[in-house]
Structure 1
Amino acid sequence: MNIAAEFINVNKRFPNATYHALDDVNLQIYEGELITILGTSGCGKTTLLKMVNRIYEPDSGEIQLFGSNIMDRDPVILRRGIGYVIQQIGLFPHMTVYNNMATVPRILGWEKQKIDERINELFMLVNLDANEFKHRYPAQLSGGQQQRIGLARALAADPALMLFDEPFGAIDAINREKLQDELLKIHRASRKTFLFVTHDVTEAFKLGTRVLIMDKGRIKQFDRPEKILERPADDFVAALVRSAEKGFAVLEGGGL
């Protein structure tokens, strides 16, 4: 398997912090994985994600994407090749859904026919009708629809790597579960590498091909969900596993 992303002895400490945001982090992520990054607030999960597209930069260590050091690349060009979805969505309110989705392909100089074809593909991928939605504005969409369009926009230029920073955190439970299911379908169809930050234990174990559990800037465990459930690395992970098992019991019982 080819390595999509690698952290090599990466450290990051913010001014006045009592501990490192990332503390000698080493990990490898393979192409096509959906990695969920889990932990309590302040554990370093969002810092790790934002280092991949150079929003934050390491104090020491090295981050490689597809075999090359990200510090050797212009950050603007680097980011154009990475999809990024956040909780706030960030759709341009003055632009139609079509124009929101076409933003990055236009920056990259795509021809109109290619953009149109790609946007039609994306509407199908996120399970929305192109004729119904492409001329609407963000304010005319529900929260779940906006999140789908935000996901489609991030996928528009066909990036090899997608970053998700708690994208479903503001969505109600029923729509959140639907969006999780859609994301799994999109991941299987796209075969891209997804990194997905969440503080929701059930979400992390449902979505992740592997789950990266962090605490105070350190990796506590990084493995397949079933392996973590079977053998938690320490008491911190065991506590998360117990809360995950409660969440799965609710899902299986139809509580959502």
Structure 2
Amino acid sequence: MTQKAIEISNVTKKFKQAEYNAVDNVNLTIDEGEFITILGSSGSGKTTLLKIINKLYEPNEGTIKLFGEDIAHVDSVQLRRSIGYVIQQIGLFPHMTIAENVATAPKLLKWNKKAIHERVDDLLNLVGLNPSDFKDRYPSELSGGQQQRIGLARALAVDPKIMLMDEPLGAVDAITRLHLQDELLRIHGGLQKTFLLVTHDINEAFKLGNRIVIMNEGKVCQFDTPKNIVANPADEFVSSLIESSRNQGKFWEGLG
């Protein structure tokens, strides 16, 4: 029987002096091993929801359970060390080598040197970077796409069951972005972890997610498979997203 990885129940978040709820009564159940994309325009609440799951924000109402455990009762630092978290800015430490960056969490958890060395090599291979070529380099010596791969490797270092990714490919060029999307699908397929990826790119959301959360003004408009969303859009906002993507396709067809 498939285990529930994430259960979000009646979660609401309102920031001080804000007129509207950033996240408004959200309910989602995500099974272990799913690749979920969260799609929405700027200000839709998708990043706020991700940060609530990672306890960077506390909700005003509602509960979140990870594998059946209410995160309200879990130490915030302990929780974050058990979750992989990747952001657009990557945040690699510039004064550390690539190996040292990837080893950040294992060192905090006091792994022995041999285990850390083996884990770094395994992860660099996993993200498609030869350890002998890359582990002694510094972040400034890498391209944006390579840095993003290192950010992903670092997030996977302590073998988290859940990976949270906030616009992880937003800062790379279009060709690199497509390659990294393929890499994410390959890595997810090999690891069978639960991935949540926030994006404002409809093509990326539909390519990567086995199910998609579509958000607007803090609310979940629809949560379903790509095929079902296209066949039965839940409201006008979802319909407009699909239509905008179709219009882009027509533009390229016209150039052909």
1:63 aligns with 2:52: no
1:192 aligns with 2:184: no
Distance 1:227 1:251, change over 3 A: farther
**Separation in 2, partners of 1:230, 1:137:** 47
Deviation at 1:125, TM superposition (A): 0.9
Structure 1: unaligned runs, 5 residues or longer: none
**Separation in 1, partners of 2:19, 2:109:** 42
**Separation in 2, partners of 1:62, 1:110:** 33
Distance 1:199 1:128, change over 3 A: same
Deviation per CA, 1:85-135, whole angstroms, max 9, x where unpaired?
000000000000000000101111111111111111111111111100000
Name the residue aligned to 2:180. 179
Give the length in aligned residue pairs. Answer: 255
Which range moved further: 35-44 or 12-21? 12-21
Whether contact under 8 Å (1:93, 1:139) holds in the other structure is: yes
**Separation in 2, partners of 1:251, 1:88:** 31
Name the residue aligned to 1:205. 206
Name the residue aligned to 1:120. 121
Code of the aligned partner of 1:85 = V
Distance 1:140 1:131, change over 3 A: same
Name the residue aligned to 2:167. 166
Deviation at 1:203, TM superposition (A): 0.5
**Separation in 2, partners of 1:154, 1:203:** 21
1:222 aligns with 2:218: no
**Separation in 1, partners of 2:131, 2:252:** 32
Deviation at 1:41, TM superposition (A): 0.8
Tell me the secondary structure at the aligned position of residue 212 of structure 2. strand
**Separation in 1, partners of 2:118, 2:251:** 41
Whether contact under 8 Å (1:33, 1:193) holds in the other structure is: yes
**Separation in 1, partners of 2:252, 2:195:** 24
Whether contact under 8 Å (1:6, 1:63) holds in the other structure is: yes
Deviation at 1:243, TM superposition (A): 2.4
**Separation in 1, partners of 2:146, 2:160:** 21
TM-score (norm 1): 0.96
Map 1:19-168 → 2, pairs under 5 A: 19-168=20-169
Tell me the secondary structure at the aligned position of residue 135 of structure 1. coil
**Separation in 1, partners of 2:186, 2:252:** 19
Code of the aligned partner of 1:112 = K
Structure 2: unaligned runs, 5 residues or longer: none
Distance 1:105 1:43, change over 3 A: same
CA RMSD of aligned residues (A): 1.7
